[in-house]
Amino acid sequence: MRELPSSERIRSVLSYDPVTGHLTWIATGKRAGCLYKSGYVLVDLDGARMRAHRVAWLLAYGEWPETDVDHRDTVKSHNWLSNLRLTSASLNIANTAARKTNKSGFKGVSWHRGARKWQASIMVNRKSMGLGLFLTPEEASGAYQRAAEKHFGEFARA
């Protein structure tokens, strides 16, 4: 992977609208970046490929973010400034939705075959914490949501 262009170089060729979240090529006035399958808008400059939300942070605050930049609404292409926030990698993961392969339909909820009940669990500081066994997936989801709010605050997502 190529080294990222300097912040001066980026500021000389791109502008950022913090309300719309759009990056624009200064020379042409055209929108910069392409939406990729990953859901992120990526921008190519001087042979380097950059995520638009990180470039937006640079242009808004004058320096590269030292940590992850999270999309509050979890939509990776919504790059307006009020939707972006700094976070740690673990809190960024806490703000993701349930996986598509999840059979319960709820994050942190799975079927416990031995007990024949729904179980809730949560990952905190790389350790799995059991939250109990429940008769319905909705009850288990409630336990997960309460634990997520306790441990992750505004980053909690069920």
Judge if 13 and 61 occupy the same domain: yes
| Boundary residue ending a domain (90, 113, 143) | 90
User: 77 vs 67, 70, 84, 102, 146, CA distance in Å?
Assistant: 18, 11, 11, 24, 29
Per the CB < 8 A criterion, the answer to whether 22 and 31 are in contact is: yes
Neighbours of 15 (CB within 10 A): 13
75 and 144 fall within a common domain: no
Q: State percent of the chain over pLDDT 90.
A: 57
Q: Please name the residue ranges forming H helices in 2-134.
A: 7-13, 52-61, 89-94
* Amino acid (1-letter code) at residue 15: S
Q: With bands split at pLDDT 50, 70 and 90, how would you rate the model's confidence at 6? A: very high
Is position 73 within any domain? yes
pLDDT for 33-88, tens place per residue? 999 999 999 999 999 999 999 999 999 999 999 999 999 888 999 999 999 999 87
- Which of 43, 61, 90 lies at the terminal end of a domain, its last residue? 90
Is the domain of 101 the same as that of 70?
A: no
Q: What is the pLDDT of residues 90-101, one digit of tens each?
A: 666 666 666 667
What mean pLDDT comes out for the span 9-25?
98
The pTM of this model reads 0.67
Whether residues 64 and 14 fall in one domain: yes
Count of helices and strands (H, E) across the chain: 4, 10
Of 90, 123, 141, which closes a domain? 90
Nearby residues of 81 by Cβ (< 8 Å), 6 or more positions away: 18, 19, 21, 56, 60
Can you give the length of the chain in residues?
158
Closest by CA to 68, choosing from 51, 80, 86, is 86
Sign of the Cα pseudo-torsion (61, 63, 64, 66, in order): negative
Answer yes or no: is 130 within a domain: yes
**Residue 109 carries which side chain, given as an amino acid letter?**
V
> Is the model's pLDDT at 154 over the cut of 70?
yes
90: tokens are 């673990």
H-type alpha helices, 16-158: 52-61, 89-94, 137-152
Q: Is residue 1 part of a domain?
A: no
Which range marks the domain in which residue 83 is found?
A: 7-90
- Mean pLDDT across 111-121: 91
Same domain, 12 and 75: yes
DSSP classification of residue 154: G
What is the structure's pLDDT at 92? 66
